[in-house]
A and B are shown apart, each in its own frame.
Chain A
């Protein structure tokens, strides 16, 4: 629970969810945090945009 309001830790989880499957516990902690934190919800969307842009770029070059 100590990490619950920790955006720094939560962004690590959000980022790692693009690289590995998170554990159940991590996913729960992440969802709880996201419910309460608009900044991290925006960060989550932006990670998806960045990934999409990276994939798009190789097609665009």
Chain B
């Protein structure tokens, strides 16, 4: 007897879908990833043990599906050649010629309170979506999928140094976006 009821799986569907959209940035692909995940879950339900929560187990399967899709997409012709330039532009705009901040970061007030606020999470998701694609992809792998930089390098076929640079740009971009759209408003 399986411990999983297909109805239980459906309950987690919207969570899985949002998780996948965040990573893949494409609702159709995300839908496919979730569908495949649920099918794999039903087929493999005997492997589910109550030791982990059902959601954790499903997210584990979904991560593999997302990685598969990212791999497939990476083999397709790249459209984002110009992105590197955009990202450099951001860094150039943030610092002066001598390396000092053009406009030094100000204190962010009450971050704990922000995380209790539903509107903050909308802004945070928006900011993640607006990151340049390469940055976003690496950042998601690092912070949401909790992969190591070595794993990310392999996945994206880039050097470790390049990986650090991309992650750093992602954090700079996200910081700017949150500062502009949330924390700065409180000042």
User: Residues of B at under 8 Å CB distance from A?
Assistant: 15, 18-19, 22, 59, 91, 94-95, 98-101, 104-108, 111, 115, 121, 124-125, 139, 142-144, 149, 163-165, 167-168, 171-172, 174-175, 178-179
Contact = CB atoms under 8 A, between A and B. Distances in A.
A35 B58 CA distance: 45
B121 A60 contact: yes
A49 B108 contact: yes
**Chain B binding site: helix, strand, loop or mixed by DSSP?**
helix
A10 to B, nearest CB: 8
A43 B101 CA distance: 11
A37 B101 CA distance: 10
A37 B111 CA distance: 21
**Chain A binding site: helix, strand, loop or mixed by DSSP?**
helix
A-side interface size class: 20 to 34
Contact of B99 (A6, A46, A60): A6
Given A7-B95, A20-B149, A42 B167 contact: no
A50 B125 contact: no
Pick the most buried of A7, A40, A43: most chain B CB atoms within 10 A of its CB: A7
Contacts of B168: 11-12, 15-16
16 contacts: A5-B99, A6-B99, A7-B100, A8-B91, A8-B94, A9-B99, A12-B164, A15-B171, A15-B172, A19-B167, A20-B164, A46-B179, A50-B143, A50-B178, A57-B125, A61-B18
B68 to A, nearest CB: 19
Interface string A37-56: 11110110111011111111
A58 B121 CA distance: 11
